[in-house]
Amino acid sequence: MKTFKMISVSLIRNNDEMPILLEDGIVINQENTSRSWILELFIDQKHEDFFNELKTSNELFNAKVVISYPENEPAHFEVATYSVKKIGDHLSVLLRGTLKRARRKYAESLLAELIEDGLIGEELLTQFEKDMKTRPSLKKDKEN
């Protein structure tokens, strides 16, 4: 079993990306035969109803997670909500699922999209630097 620090997480449902502000979070590779992962989000209680609904429905959804360092490429998971528990003023939410696909080269994909959008020169460089910091979803991610 390997554990990693979760830097940021966004949930993707119906092509909409919803960032969740973390107090803290970890990602656990269970290294088992089903290749399952556990994501633990330590978040504000305002999300309690939302995650309880997801738990009740057993809905599978995608999560985009940056692990260990802010500049790392996001890892994409397909998960379901496993547990929602209050801890003090916060929630511990456990998501269980699998890594969707091998990570690809985010920078190259982003650059290709910006060029397709017609950006050139200084405008291209400025937008590329901005997007490398904020890591928006790529068009091809939204299509999958």
Model confidence over 32-65: pLDDT tens digits?
888 899 999 999 999 999 999 999 999 999 999 9
Helix/strand/coil for 117: coil
pTM above 0.85, yes or no: no
Interatomic CA distance for residues 11 and 77, integer angstroms: 10
Contact 90, 41 (CB under 8 A): no
Task: Return the biggest CA–CA distance within the chain.
Answer: 51
Q: What is the pLDDT of residue 102?
A: 52
Contact 8, 22 (CB under 8 A): yes
Strand partners, 90: 44, 87
Q: What is the pLDDT of residue 138?
A: 77
Q: What is the pLDDT of residue 23?
A: 96
Model confidence over 62-81: pLDDT tens digits?
999 999 998 888 888 999 99
Is the domain covering 2-99 a CATH 3.40.50 domain? Answer: no
Contact 25, 6 (CB under 8 A): yes
**Nearest CA among 92, 4, 101, 87 for reference residue 52:** 92
**Does the structure show a pLDDT above 70 at 101?**
no
Which range is least confidently modeled, 62-66, 108-112, 122-126? 108-112
